[in-house]
Amino acid sequence: MNLHILFISLLAIFSFKVHADDTLNANLAETDSSNLLVDNKKSLRIIALAPHVVENLYAIGAGDLIVATTSYANYPKEANDIPRIGNYSRIQIEQVLSYEPDVVIAWHTGNPLDDIKKIESLGIKVVYSDPKKLEDVASELRKFGQLTGLAKTAEQVAMTYTTKLNQIKQQYQGKKPLVTFYELWSSPLTTATNGAWPEQAINVCGTENIFADAIGDYPQVGLEQVIASSPQIVIQPKSETQNYVDQIDWSKWTQIPAGKYNLVIHPISDLLHRMTPRFIIGLEKLCADIDLAREKLVVIAQEK
C-alpha cells in the first residue's frame, strides 16, 4: 500500500471525528455531578504522550481517561498497564488512530514534531504541555482540570504544589551558595544550565552552577573543565529503574572538594526531572542534602 492510499485509509477510519474540536470545546463547560466530562455519558479518551502528562492526569483524578501513552510512563503503578504507542523519538500514528482518542496531550519539546503535526492533520484535537518554569506545574494541572472537567480537584492540587514550592524557596533563600556541578549524563558528560529545569531546582537550594554561562540548556562539557572549576558538591541524579554503570566515580578526584570530602548527592531523577507534583518531594530531599553538605563544609573549614 503506498503512502497516499495509507493516508486516505487512515483518514477514513477517523472520519467520524471531523467535528471533534467543536464537540470537545462545547463539552469543556458541561460537567455532571461527579465532575467528569459529559459527552453522552461517555468518558473522554486521552492519549498522553509523556510520563509527566500521565502523572499529572492521575494527580487530578483523570488517570482512568488515558487510553494510551509512551515509554517510561511508570507512575503511579497503574500507569504501567497503559498501552504504549511510541517513545520520545517516534509515535506510531496507526496505533494512535486505533485508540480513537478525543484528545492527544503532547509534550511540546519532548515529542517528534512531525508526528504531532500528522496527528493534527488527521483531525485529532492536540493539546500541548509545555512547562518551562517550576511554577508552570500548577498551570499544567489547571489546564488538564479544565480539559477533563476536574477543575476543582486540579485547583486544589495546583495550590498545594505552589504553596510547598514557595515554602522551600523561602526556607533556602539567602543560604550561602555552594559551587556545584550537575552531572545530568556521564557519557557524553552533560550538564544543565541556561535556566533549564534541573538548574532551576538546584538554584532554589542555593547553588552556584559552574557552567552557568555555558551555551544551551544541556551542553556537553569536559571532565577537565569540571576539575578546573573545583566544585564543592556534585549532583549525580539516578533513576530507580535504570543502571548507571558508567557514572563517574568522583571519589577518585580528590583534588576537588566534592571528591575529597565525598560530597556527591544522588537525587532520584524521576522525582526531580519530571514536571509533576512529585517534583516537590525530590526538591525537598535535594535541598536538604545540599544543606547537609553545606554544614559539613563549615565544620571542615573550622577544623583547619
Residue type for position 152: K
**What is the block-wise mean pLDDT of the chain (304 residues), using blocks of 10 residues?**
35 34 38 38 85 98 97 96 94 96 95 95 96 97 97 98 98 96 95 96 97 95 97 93 75 96 96 97 98 97 86
Give the chain's domains with CATH numbers. Answer: 3-159 (3.40.50.1980), 175-303 (3.40.50.1980)
> How far apart are the two ends of the chain, measured CA to CA in Å?
76
Q: Cell digits for 179?
A: 559551587
Cell representation of residue 145: 482540570
Closest listed residue to residue 82, CA positions, set 60, 57, 106: 57
In degrees rounded to 5, what are phi and psi of residue 118? -65, -40
Q: What is the pTM of this model?
A: 0.84
Integer Cα distance of 249 and 189 in angstroms = 13
Residue 227, class by beta-carbon neighbours within 10 Å (0-12 exposed, 13-18 middle, 19+ buried)?
middle
At residue 245, the pLDDT reads 61
What is the Cα–Cα distance from 218 to 237, expressed in whole angstroms?
Answer: 15
pLDDT score for 88: 85
Question: What's the pLDDT at 27?
Answer: 39
pLDDT value for 246: 74
Residues in contact with 8: Cβ distance below 8 Å, sequence separation at least 6, in sequence order: none
Nearest to 242 by CA among 264, 219, 273, 221: 273
- 189-190 and 185-186: which strand pairing? antiparallel
Q: What angle do CA 104, 106, 111 make, to 5 degrees?
A: 135
Distance separating alpha carbons of residues 82 and 190, to the nearest angstrom: 32
